[in-house]
Structure 1
Amino acid sequence: MARRKSFDWFVPALGLAILLALVLPEPGGKHGPLHAEILNKVGVALIFFLHGANLSFGALKAGAMRWQLHTVVQVCVFVLFPLMGLGLWYLLAGRIPEDLRIGFMFLCALPSTVSSSVALTGIAHGNVAGAIFNATISSIIGIFVTPLWMAGVLHTQGQSLNLGDVILDLVIWLLIPLIIGQVLRPWIGHFVHRHKKVLSLTDRLVILFLVYSSFCDSVLSGVWKGKGPDLIGLALGGGIVMFVLALIVTNFISRALKFSEEDRIAAVFCGSKKSLAAGVPMANILFAGNPGLGLILLPTILYHASQLVICSWLARRWANRPGIDHSQSH
């Protein structure tokens, strides 16, 4: 009998972090007593250091040869998704707050998730090695491609994004800690594996603090004044529609290319998901000083919640497909 899936506290915790920012924004605001402007950068580096330390080079190498799978996933994540966002960018011009419109485009330009894509691919008996490779490579590509998309789109509105400085910051605070974590893995790998639950909790707590501090600045600057629940409904509804479209497109392409069931599952999960763990740190660097950062992050946060719910259901459904030997499952 399959084990009952334990309750994931992270999604409601995101809601609580936002609520805390609404009622108590001063501590997490810029130059507040928590010194969020310093802790945020340290937290970003810590997240990517832990990702690097957790990354098994052997697992990455094992999934490297399925070039068709990798091409489909990366094209979906960094070409088709941003093109969908570009369509929304022009469709929603003047119809929604500008920061929310930027948020939808930012969501579409983000890399895929790592941990949840791999975990759900495993639950569904998909190509786990392929998922590890694609999710990891996506995170690295995103450090360069995500700001390129955002710089191009913002330029059309007369807004500037100092691309050189942004990419340099992303390399310093994201890529270098990731590489250091991977280089140190032979010495700290056993420690990381032994304390996996504690380090995973640390990772999530850092993300929660980043979300809290982002919304604190937005609240203190008055961005949320006059904004009602309809705005949250719009961000949630838009995210769900985009996610369902991404599922349909990745599934259609995988079937058209006659992927095996295992590769199709990896392609669907990796090609349709967007990374909150990368998105929050990247937003803190790309939009540093923007008082609307909380509103920019809203679509990504709600998309994260939607993809967890829908993909968890899909993973359980695909895990029970004919031909799967459940006696080998743990």
Structure 2
Amino acid sequence: MSRRTPQLPSWLPIDPYILALISTVALAALLPARGGAADVAGGASTAAVALLFFLYGARLSTREAMDGLRHWRLHLTVLICTFVAFPLLGLAAKVFVPFVLTPQLYNGLLFLCLVPSTIQSSIAFTSIARGNVPAAICAGSFSSLAGIVVTPVLAALVLGSGGGGFSADSLVKIVAQLLLPFVAGQLLRRWVGGFLVKHKKVLGYVDRGSILLVVYTAFSEGMVQGIWGQVSFVRLLGLLGVEAVLLAAMLALSWYGAKRLGFDRGDRIAIQFAGSKKSLAAGLPMASVLFGAQASLAVLPLMLFHQMQLMVCAVIAKRRSRDPLPGTEPEAEDAISRIPALR
């Protein structure tokens, strides 16, 4: 958490990685991979997804996860926000089809509601707001771990075959590309953990580069198949409006719901930031496996929501950092400068 990302001007609170993602989408629109190049990009994307989940597994500290079980009520609350409340709101958003959202955009919105919570940004925002940081660490880790299994299962239940071709073949791909690499990472963590810590900065670029490759492959395939002709500017504005309502609802539910459950201020902050956000890092690779050629539209709502949640939560965290606490000095210097790129 001590590593700082490049600071942007105060009038441009945009995650630098989002700018990289937008540039990648633009590149795919101008120069989509076709023919043999598409086959090479697809193979590289598959390998990149497997590598990502291997690294996720190798980085997850089993000891920290076990220590976090002591605060099981908080973690259960975050999991309910992530995998119960979010999907229910996503299902309710079907009332906006087809007047505001197209069926394809709605499937992407629903998928957004199924992915796990973030890790790094939840920790950073909780720290800025002077909340329970250890709880945020464990809650984000538990959510990411559960999402490897829960997200595909929920996708099968609520999206079905109409959500991008989810089938037995998709399940096999999920196991092969996501679950097995993750398990392998956990099993080998004992031997590779030191290397990962020593080269954390370099491997961070590997993470981000792998996700950019996944995005380029998905959007290239979408361009070749003419998927983007189905989306208009008005529809995109409608999607942003629906996502703003969704984020506001989850921020309110996680904050006031945690209060009703008897959590103190520090825990409520951790619950709100971990329970109201979604992981772009985990969602993009999963979408490439679950949706195939439709992945470019499926990840669009998640990409927009990711930037929205960072901007809104930065404001909330900075305001909460100024809450008067007897004997405690505010820890936040600049909310925007401490926002990590992903997770």
* TM-score, normalised by the number of residues in structure 2: 0.85
For 1:277, the equivalent position in structure 2 comes to: 281
Please state if 1:106 is matched with 2:107: no
d(CA) in 2 for partners of 1:217, 1:89: 27
Task: Decide whether aligned partners of structure 1 residues 95 and 56 sit closer, same or farther in structure 2, where only a CA change above 3 A counts.
Answer: same
**Displacement, 1:256?**
0.8
Whether the 8 Å contact between 2:321 and 2:332 is mirrored in structure 1 is no
**Displacement, 1:217?**
0.9
Higher relative contact order (CA 8 A, sep 6+): 2
d(CA) in 1 for partners of 2:271, 2:331: 23
Please state if 1:252 is matched with 2:259: no
For 2:31, the equivalent position in structure 1 comes to: 24
d(CA) in 2 for partners of 1:36, 1:201: 19
* TM-score, normalised by the number of residues in structure 1: 0.89
Secondary structure of 1:125's aligned partner: coil
Whether the 8 Å contact between 2:116 and 2:282 is mirrored in structure 1 is yes
d(CA) in 2 for partners of 1:39, 1:113: 25
The 10-residue stretch of structure 1 (61-70 or 122-131) with the greater mean CA deviation from structure 2: 122-131
For 1:116, the equivalent position in structure 2 comes to: 121
d(CA) in 2 for partners of 1:32, 1:268: 43
Task: Decide whether aligned partners of structure 1 residues 160 and 23 sit closer, same or farther in structure 2, where only a CA change above 3 A counts.
Answer: closer
**Displacement, 1:123?**
2.7
**Displacement, 1:178?**
2.0
**Displacement, 1:94?**
6.2
**Displacement, 1:11?**
1.2
For 1:298, the equivalent position in structure 2 comes to: 300
The 10-residue stretch of structure 1 (4-13 or 54-63) with the greater mean CA deviation from structure 2: 4-13
For 1:198, the equivalent position in structure 2 comes to: 202
Unpaired segments ≥5 residues, structure 1? none
For 1:60, the equivalent position in structure 2 comes to: 65
The 10-residue stretch of structure 1 (192-201 or 263-272) with the greater mean CA deviation from structure 2: 192-201
d(CA) in 1 for partners of 2:288, 2:162: 21
For 1:38, the equivalent position in structure 2 comes to: 43
For 1:321, the equivalent position in structure 2 comes to: 323
1:74-153 superposed matches below 5 A: 74-93=79-98, 95-153=100-158
Whether the 8 Å contact between 1:30 and 1:37 is mirrored in structure 2 is no
Q: How many residues align?
A: 324
Select which of 227, 247, 251 maps to 1:223.
Answer: 227
Unpaired segments ≥5 residues, structure 2? 9-14, 334-343
For 1:242, the equivalent position in structure 2 comes to: 246
**Displacement, 1:329?**
8.0
Identical columns (%): 38
For 2:336, the equivalent position in structure 1 comes to: none
Secondary structure of 1:64's aligned partner: helix
Secondary structure of 2:7's aligned partner: coil
Task: Indicate the RMSD between aligned Cα atoms, in angstroms.
Answer: 2.6
